[in-house]
Structure 1
Amino acid sequence: MSTLEEHVDVGVPIDKAWDSLHQVENYPSFVEGVRDARTEADGRAHLDVEARGRTRELDAELSDRGGERVMEWRTTGAPELKGSLSLQPIDREHTRVQARVEYDPDTIRETFGGPKGFAQANAVERLVRSDLEHFKEHVEHRP
């Protein structure tokens, strides 16, 4: 398993960032490749994802450690992915969003295609960084 950690600081209070992370239906606005997303029963989410011309349906379980402002997630089928999004207040109007993703490089390549080795790690890092930047834009400009 490979692990990636990235963060971004957003110019909104922690409650607004926390609420935005829980609006799964808005994920297509800031998560690359997500074409459709919906919340399902029992803390589950369904995502239609397109990458390199391949479309996949992913189901995930979401759980909160609300007192700690941590949302954990994991896919319930292939590909096996898991991670977390944690929020930390910087001050009253700014929040740090920390993303942690755990994945098997071979599984990612088999499922979505793409490069191998170091090039793949760089691609995953760029993707997560881009998603965090898009989340920043989304949450800061949302009414």
Structure 2
Amino acid sequence: MSILEEHVDVGVPIDKAWESLHRVENYPRFVEGVRDARTEAGGRAHLDVEAGGQAREFEARVSDRSGERAMEWRTTGAAELTGSFSLQPIDKNHTRVQARLEYDPDSIRETFGGPKGFAQANAVERLVRSDLEQFKEYVEQGR
């Protein structure tokens, strides 16, 4: 398994960042490749994703630790991905959003195509960094 951790500081209070992160239906606005997303019963989310020129559907189990401001998720089925988001207040108007992604490089390549090895790690890192920057823009503009 490969592990990637990235963070971004956003200019909103922690409650606003937490609320925005939990609106799964808005993920297409800031997560690259997500065309549609919705919350389903039983702590699950459904995502329609386009990546590597292919459309895919994913189910993920989502669990919250609201008191800790942490959300964990794990895909079910192909392309096993596990991740989490945790939020820490910087001050009353700024929040750090920490993303952690655990993935099997071979599984990612089989599912989405793309490069191998170091090039793949760089591509995943760029994608996560871009998604965090898009989230920052999304939440700070109050959409």
* Alignment-derived partner of residue 47 in structure 1: 47
Deviation at 1:42, TM superposition (A): 1.1
Q: CA deviation at 1:17?
A: 0.3
Other structure's SS at 2:12 match:
coil
Q: 1:66 — aligned with what?
A: 66
Q: How does 1:8-27 map to 2 (within 5 A)?
A: 8-27=8-27
Question: Shift in Å at residue 76 of structure 1?
Answer: 1.2
- Matched-pair identity in %: 82
Task: Give the drift of 1:69.
Answer: 0.4
> Which consecutive aligned stretches of 4+ in structure 1 deviate over 3 angstroms post-superposition?
none
TM-score by length of 1: 0.99
Could you report, residue by residue, the CA deviation over 1:112-136 in whole angstroms, capped at 9, with x for unpaired residues?
0000000000000000000000000
SS state at 2:97 partner? strand
Structure 1: how far apart are the matches of 2:130 and 2:36?
18
- Mapped partners of 2:142, 2:60: distance in 1: 25
Counterpart of 2:126?
126
Aligned residues: 143
Secondary structure of the structure 1 residue equivalent to 2:74: strand
Q: Distance in 1 between matches of 2:135 and 2:47?
A: 17
2:90 is aligned to 90
Q: What root-mean-square deviation, in Å, do the aligned CA atoms of Structure 1 and Structure 2 show?
A: 0.6
Shift of 1:16: 0.2
Shift of 1:77: 1.0
Q: Secondary structure at the match of 1:87?
A: strand
Q: What residue ranges of structure 2 are gaps of 5+ in the alignment?
A: none
Unpaired segments ≥5 residues, structure 1: none
Q: Which amino acid aligns with 2:31?
A: V
Structure 2 counterpart of 1:13, one-letter code: P
Q: Distance in 2 between matches of 1:17 and 1:43?
A: 20
Question: 1: CA distance between counterparts of 2:78 and 2:52?
Answer: 17
Pairwise CA distance, 1:39? 0.5
